[in-house]
Amino acid sequence: MPGRANGDIRDVVDIAHRSAINPASAKDATASRAHSPQGAAPLIPLASVDLSQWQALSERAIEPNGYYLPAWERAVSATARGRAGADALCAFDAASGRLTGLLPVVSLWRAWKIPLPALVSAHPYGTLCSPPLDRGAADDAATQLLQQARQAGAHALILRDVALDGPAMKSITESLVREGLQPQVLTSYIRAALDATQDGEALLRAALGGKKLKELRRQRHRLEGHGLVTFEIARTPGDVGPALETFLKLEASGWKGKRGTALAQDAGDAAFIRRAVPALAETGQCEIVTLRAGATPIAAGIVLRHQARAFFFKLGIDERFAKYSPGVQLTCELTRHLCADPAIASADSTASADHPMINPIWRGRLAIGDVLIPLRRNDPTVALIHAALVGREFALDIARRAVRLLRR
């Protein structure tokens, strides 16, 4: 009967949801209190994580991730479309109570509508979810995070968009191996990155070749018919406010605006970015770069900074100037800017695989993937979770192919 079937599905979803947020047993809860200040619960609202502790952890993190900086991820979790209301797994130093690890998470049902007891790294809008782990206690922090997930009732953790070869994933893998477990890479891809320790001009010449650079110079010379071409960098909270509004207008004027995915088109997304960017500018961790022809902005991008790495979040262009390659022109200027900055050693494009604009310019590569982390040995529930995730990816692949066919 349809009514009974729907009721059964709701029952399964409810059981899975409760099992993913409630302690598995009194014994597990006792173990949690041994590592957490004042017997903290294994899963807490992200908004309740102590801001000063989180900020201090980000400064000690073994691996940079601008998208899990507190000012960014707290703003995402507060209002961003489909991303608000995340929880957190936390690890602490037993002696001092210092925060040593943090993983923002949502339930598997919340992430992908799969009614099984697992937790998924909360997506921070940017495509990187490598968790901050204290470089002085990374292995212990990773072990605690896994244990906290167990105590929250999860049978598996799914880390999406993590740096597969990064030190955070290495610490998590080593912790799993000690427990007789192995992570499973579900999907992976390679994306563009920049080695900013090189000379910018030499890097661009090697990446693009003399012929392409000559063509870009010719386009720029033609662009100067619309006014002097300038590259601006907004860093202070006072400067990034107007620069952000310029970016939002450019993004909404292009194809993202036509599809309804521009940040300014959703109230929650707009609130998140207007909160996050000035807050990060306060600590020197965000800047907005803009290319102008005279007084007209033709391209703009948001760049986050964490430790010695930059993160190219988004790019917006005025498509009326498309024949001058404004996105490429801006990215070349950004490349020169980052290579000239001694505080930056590398930059993550956070772009999709085989991105046609940035891949030819930034020739470094990062391996990124979604990873399934089993939390118990020989657990049949993990096999169900794996099968559900593989089935979901298969269905998405079919849908993507159908969309490509329809667009031809």
Q: What is the predicted pLDDT for the residue at 29?
A: 32
Q: What is the predicted pLDDT for the residue at 93?
A: 97
Sorting pLDDT into bands at 50, 70 and 90, what band is 400?
low
CA–CA dist 24, 13 (Å, integer): 17
pLDDT at residue 13 tops 70 = no
> Selecting from 3.40.462, 3.30.70, 3.40.630, 3.40.190, what CATH number does the domain 197-344 have?
3.40.630
Sorting pLDDT into bands at 50, 70 and 90, what band is 398?
confident
Mean pLDDT across 211-215: 96
Domain covering 2-191+367-407 assigned CATH 3.30.1360 in the classification: no
Is the pTM higher than 0.75? Answer: yes
Helix (H, G, I), strand (E, B) or coil at 24: coil
Mean pLDDT across 146-162: 97
Residues of the chain with CATH 3.40.630: 2-191+367-407, 197-344
Return the structure tokens found at 214.
């000559």
Answer whether 61's CB lies under 8 Å from 105's CB: no
Sorting pLDDT into bands at 50, 70 and 90, what band is 404?
low
DSSP per-residue letters across 303-340: EEEETTEEEEEEEEE-GGGGGG-HHHHHHHHHHHHHHT
15-62 pLDDT tens trace: 344 444 443 333 333 333 334 454 567 999 999 999 999 999 999 999
Sorting pLDDT into bands at 50, 70 and 90, what band is 10?
very low
Q: What is the predicted pLDDT for the residue at 395?
A: 81
